[in-house]
């Protein structure tokens, strides 16, 4: 539980850092794209607004959790519950497998329509497989 | 894997939430364990056995090669 509290304290510090640096980064980027199109300016504003909202939300929720022992324990149980962890693992495993098969089908179908799209999808699939094999090898050595 | 969690919990008049709090898991995990939909890890089995004051073998009934 102490480690969990520490994790949330660090999360709180990161949220403060994000909230403080985000406006500086935003105005810097906004200054850089000043001469750019309306679309790029709008995109930058949209992305930074979304990031700012999530950072503030994270800051407030972390603060509330850190100052309420009951909430902290509830969150600890939710995050460390072994069934939830097992569900998350199986979800990731199944969804990545489905995604891989769907990409393979998309590679074949797009091959008849556009060569560029087909090659892009094939590269994406190959990179995905390489990452899976690399991560699998890492865990085989670790455990 | 079958277990005696529900039987013991009811006999000791412990609610699912109380057991969940004691074992540091969610109430849903206790429900799944009682229904036999989820098999506890060694750590959780140990905690549950300690809670009921018995051994893991007494609490969980191993029925052979379940996952083989």
Enter the ipTM: 0.85
Check if A77 contacts B (Cβ < 8 Å): yes
B22 φ, ψ (degrees, to nearest 5): -70, -35
C-alpha to C-alpha distance for B52 and B59, rounded to whole angstroms: 8
Which residue does chain A place closest to B29, by CA atoms?
A: A83
Structure tokens at A130: 């390489």
Per-residue pLDDT of A17-49, as tens digits, reads: 999 999 999 888 888 877 778 888 888 889 999
Region A69-87 average pLDDT: 92
Q: With an 8 Å Cβ cutoff, are B26 and A84 in contact?
A: yes
* Helix or strand (DSSP H, E) at A3: helix A2-32
- Model pTM? 0.75
B60 φ, ψ (degrees, to nearest 5): -110, 135
Beta strands in chain B (DSSP E): 2-3, 60-61
Closest approach of chain B CAs to the CA of A7, in angstroms? 18
């Amino acid at each position: 539980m102490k480690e969990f509290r520490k994790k949330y304290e660090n999360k709180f510090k990161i949220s403060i850092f994000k909230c403080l640096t985000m406006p500086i980064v935003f105005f810097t980027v906004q200054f850089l794209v000043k001469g750019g199109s309306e679309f790029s300016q709008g995109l930058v504003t949209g992305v930074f607004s979304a990031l700012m909202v999530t950072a503030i939300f994270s800051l407030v929720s972390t603060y509330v959790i850190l100052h309420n022992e009951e909430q902290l324990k509830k969150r600890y149980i939710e995050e460390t519950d072994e069934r939830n962890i097992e569900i998350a693992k199986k979800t990731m495993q199944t969804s990545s497998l489905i995604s891989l098969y769907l990409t393979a089908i998309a590679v074949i179908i797009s091959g008849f329509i556009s060569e560029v799209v087909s090659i892009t999808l094939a590269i994406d699939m190959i990179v995905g497989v390489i990452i899976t094999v690399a991560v699998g090898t890492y865990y085989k050595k670790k455990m | 894997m079958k277990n005696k969690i529900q039987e013991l919990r009811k006999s000791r008049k412990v609610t699912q939430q109380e057991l969940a709090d004691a074992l540091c898991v969610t109430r849903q995990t206790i429900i799944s364990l009682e229904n036999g939909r989820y098999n506890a890890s060694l750590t959780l089995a140990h905690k549950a056995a300690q809670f009921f004051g018995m051994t893991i073998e007494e609490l969980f009934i191993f029925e052979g090669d379940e996952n083989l």
